[in-house]
Amino acid sequence: MAAVDEIAKSWNVYVVRCADGSLYTGIATDVGRRLDEHRHSDRGAKYLRGRGPLALVFAGEVSDRSHASRVEHRIKRLSKARKEALLRSPAELRVLMQAW
């Protein structure tokens, strides 16, 4: 039964801006829950600890976990300047997300 539940979940790629201006990219099935974990739990990403407050600046749905991981990896490889340019152009970001 768990395999059926896993298939039904939609995956999202999200970008968080930290108080220091840095950007963090991640994936989750529930972005709100994951952001709450980053803010208030030891289950949050180690990189984000002590970098709050955190602001969600982008979240977009993709087809599955594998696709989400590929998009996350591609975004993480970009320079900060390129990430900022993508965030100013949501249409371009969505194209990047669907390019797989």
Q: Does a structural domain hold residue 100?
A: no
Please state at what angle helix 90-98 crosses helix 80-88, rounded to 10 degrees: 110
Which are the contacts of 25, defined by CB distance < 8 A and separation ≥ 6? Answer: 13, 14, 15, 16, 72, 75, 76, 83
Structural domain of residue 47, as residue ranges?
A: 2-94
Which two tokens mark 41?
């739990």
In this structure, are residues 31 and 13 in contact, taking their beta carbons and an 8 Å threshold?
no
Better-scored residue on pLDDT, 11 or 93: 11
Give a yes or no: residue 39 inside a domain: yes
For the segment 33-78, what is each residue's pLDDT rounded down to a tens digit? 999 999 999 999 999 999 999 999 999 999 899 999 999 999 999 9
| CATH code where residue 31 lies | 3.40.1440.10
Give the separation between CA 7 and CA 90, rounded to whole angstroms.
27
Q: With 0.85 as the threshold, say if the pTM is over it.
A: yes
